[in-house]
Amino acid sequence: EAGVTQSPTHLIKTRGQQATLRCSPISGHTSVYWYQQALGLGLQFLLWYDEGEERNRGNFPPRFSGRQFPNYSSELNVNALELEDSALYLCASSLRDREQFFGPGTRLTVL
Amino acid sequence: AQKVTQAQTEISVVEKEDVTLDCVYETRDTTYYLFWYKQPPSGELVFLIRRNSFDEQNEISGRYSWNFQKSTSSFNFTITASQVVDSAVYFCALSGQSGGSYIPTFGRGTSLIVHP
Rounded CA separation B106/B92 (Å): 6
Chain B residues in contact with A31 by the CB 8 A cut-off are 102
DSSP classification of residue A105: -
Q: Please say whether the beta carbons of A106 and A7 come within 8 A.
A: yes
Q: Is the pLDDT of residue B1 over 90?
A: no
Contacts of B109 in chain A (CB under 8 A): 42
List Cβ neighbours of A62 (8 Å cut-off, separation of 6 or more).
Answer: none
Q: What's the pLDDT tens digit per position in A42-75?
A: 899 999 999 999 999 999 999 999 999 999 999 9
Q: How far apart are CA B84 and CA B12, in angstroms?
A: 11
Interface of chain A toward chain B, CB-CB under 8 angstroms: 31, 33, 41-43, 45, 48, 55-56, 88, 90, 92, 94, 96-105, 107
**What's the pLDDT band for B47 if we cut at 50, 70, 90?**
very high
Judge whether residue B7 has pLDDT over 80. Answer: yes
